[in-house]
Amino acid sequence: MRLCRKLGETTLSDILDQLDERRKQARLGGGERRIESQHAKGKLTARERLELLLDPGSFEEFDMFVTHRSTDFGMEKNKMAGDGVVTGWGTINGRKTFVFAQDFTVFGGSLSETHAKKINKVQEMAMRHGAPIIGLQDSGGARIQEGVAALAGYTDVFQNNILASGVIPQISVIMGPSAGGAVYSPALTDFIFMVRDSSYMFLTGPDVLKTVTNEVVTAEELGGAKTHTSKSSVADGAYDNDMQALSEIRRLFDFLPLNNRSGVPSRPFYDEHDRIDESLNTLVPDNPNIPYDMKELVTKLADEGDFFEIQQDFAKNILCGFIRLEGQTVGVVANQPMVLAGCLDSDASRKAARFVRFCDCFEIPILTLVDVPGFLPGTSQEYGGVIKHGAKLLYAFGEATVPKVTVITRKAYGGAYCVMAPKHLRGDINYAWPSAQIAVMGAKGAVEILHRKDLGDPEKIAAHTADYEEKFLSPFRAAERGYIDEVIQPQSTRKRVCRALALAKDKKLENPWKKHGNLPL
């Protein structure tokens, strides 16, 4: 036995010390000064964000010591472990997910060839293992020093986004800048969320706009959270700070399947499936022209009133989001009479169509709540392509093979009736409340067309109106033809919907074989 080691000989203890030191340096990212700068902006670091997003102690990191390979512009003298992105996997409430978080303290989070390869690796692992991927974006864009290699890296990321679409859920959280080509990866994912006052997205920044088009605009006005949640519909939601955003992503994650074959997640529920809610009997006003809040119905149907709304600030005339019924995720699409009387327009149609297609991708049943007087009229809608946008929603509902349950609470007129998941688009169970009015149009408009010669006689018009309402606006006319499976009491809606979804749970429905359809984009 040797009592001493030779000069220069390395022991295992030395190697472990070196490993610890290298890990310590890697975890510091760009260093203490840049971390302090990140905190001064009200932003967390990449690693701090992952600690909040994932279950404590669950994060397993990959490629901690990867560095870039660039030798131009003196870059070979400036290498940092991790190369500006932290990648790996962990769990959220015990369910597996893959993650990457761009580190703004390292080269401004800019994307290099190796940075992109790290993201590619977790994207491909997520697809292979059938788990969602969550990207926390905080990047200045492509690393200029690497030129086309960085652009190629971005395109590799985009290609994987496309291949993963409909296979695993993809979530993007914009937590800092995202400019130029960097915006396309989030745009290809299923959901985008932003942080108010500290994140923005645009293809062309304010400085370039000022030079090229002479427009003067701030980064916030051009691509901030308010712009993208209320005007462009690029983002699905926005939160006040990093902590709130990551907490809400955890909440959303609980609603989502792990992949397109896993089925919807199930969790314990503490709400009776046959709960009767008598307040729903008076939800719809007697006067058909008075609005009511459809969100009240959604929350009263949901387990424990939990509703995760998607695109809350855009196209408010339609509601989209997730609830649970008997512990299982259900996607909800509902007209909102409080905004534009619940009319469908281009924005509402696009918003709902994308949501329906997401639900169908991942076998999430769809509940549709209908109170729609028609499509919004006007030249702005027609010039804006409302025909094609409305067709997107029609296509989405008609293509969907998941369980579909529809409840008509009040108006279902004309082409809008055809679009909102009627029996004729392979609806499984279609209910109507006694207050439902299902017709080509409302009584007033119909009578003015059908009885034009009597327009000067108020008594005759009143009689014709009453006759039309009795014959055509009653839900029983549709029920007599089998277009409505049952006219139900409002108070028992939760019970009836739960029973309908239980019936449709194991249905088998396939579309004709095709490479893919030609969605009216």
180 assigned to active site = yes
Q: What angle do CA 135, 136, 141 make, to 5 degrees?
A: 95
Nearest to 484 by CA among 492, 493, 475: 475
| 291 φ/ψ sector (left φ>0, alpha ψ -120 to 50, else beta) | beta
The C-alpha atoms of residue 304 and residue 381 are separated, in whole angstroms, by 38
476 assigned to some structural domain: no
| Percent of the chain residues topping a pLDDT of 70 | 96
Distance CA 22, CA 18 (A): 6
Please tell me whether residues 172 and 314 are part of one structural domain: no
pLDDT digits (tens, 9 = 90+) for 341-361: 999 999 999 999 999 999 999
State the average pLDDT over residues 95-107: 94
Residue 446: pLDDT band (50, 70, 90) is: confident
Please tell me which residue in 109, 153, 180, 342 is annotated as part of the active site.
180
Query: What per-residue confidence (pLDDT) applies to 318?
Result: 98
Q: Are residues 174 and 312 in the same domain?
A: no
In a domain, 443, yes or no: no
User: 203 and 112, same structural domain?
Assistant: yes
| 260 found inside a domain | no
* CATH number of residue 151's parent domain: 3.90.226.10
Count of other CB atoms within 10 angstroms of residue 326: 17
Q: State the average pLDDT for the chain.
A: 91
Q: Are residues 395 and 348 in the same domain?
A: yes
| pLDDT reading at 6 higher than 90 | no
> What do you get for the CA distance between the two ends of the chain, in Å?
77
Residues 244 and 374 in one domain: no
pLDDT digit string, tens, across residues 221-276 = 999 999 999 999 999 999 999 999 999 999 999 999 999 999 999 999 999 989 99
204 lies in the same domain as 343: no
> Do 282 and 245 share a domain, yes or no?
no
**How far is it, in rounded angstroms, from Cα 367 to Cα 459?**
42
Identify whether 515 is part of a domain.
no
Give the pLDDT band of residue 149 (cuts 50, 70, 90).
Answer: confident
122 is a domain residue: yes
512: DSSP letter:
P
Do the domain assignments include residue 405?
Answer: yes
285 and 178 in a single domain? The answer is no
> Do 163 and 289 share a domain, yes or no?
no
Over pLDDT 90: what percentage of the chain?
70
DSSP character string of 401-457: -S-EEEEEEEEEEHHHHHHS--GGGT-SEEEE-TT-EEESS-HHHHHHHHTGGGTT-
What are the tens digits of pLDDT across the range 157-207?
Answer: 999 999 999 999 999 999 998 887 789 999 999 999 999 999 999 988 888
Q: Are residues 239 and 355 in the same domain?
A: no
| pLDDT value of residue 8 | 58
Same domain, 353 and 488: yes
Domain that holds residue 292: 278-436+484-504
* pLDDT bucket at 458, cuts 50 / 70 / 90: confident
Q: pLDDT value at position 76?
A: 67
The number of domains in the chain is 2
Amino acid at 182: A
**Six-digit token pair at 320?**
């989209």
Residue 108 annotated in active site: no
- Tens digit of pLDDT for each residue in 22-77? 888 878 877 889 899 899 999 999 999 999 999 999 999 998 888 877 766 666 67
**Which tens digit of pLDDT belongs to each residue from 290-336?**
999 999 999 999 999 999 999 999 999 999 999 999 999 999 999 99
Catalytic residue among 181, 237, 342, 374: 181
Helix (H, G, I), strand (E, B) or coil at 313: coil
Q: Which of 334, 416, 436, 446 is catalytic?
A: 416
| Catalytic, out of 415, 445, 463, 502 | 415
What percentage of the chain's residues is helix, strand, coil (to nearest 5)? 45, 20, 40
Specify the residue for token string 């082409």: 415
Q: Count how many residues are written for the chain.
A: 521
Predicted pLDDT at 477: 85
User: 416 catalytic, yes or no?
Assistant: yes
Is residue 284 within 8 A of residue 433, CB to CB? The reply is: yes
| Residue 378 domain-assigned (yes or no) | yes
Determine, yes or no, domain membership for 417: yes
pLDDT of residue 10: 77
Residue 1 has pLDDT above 50, yes or no: no
Q: Do 292 and 424 belong to one domain?
A: yes
**Per-residue pLDDT, 2:** 47
Question: What pLDDT does 500 receive?
Answer: 97
Give the pLDDT score at 502: 96
Contact 395, 520 (CB under 8 A): yes
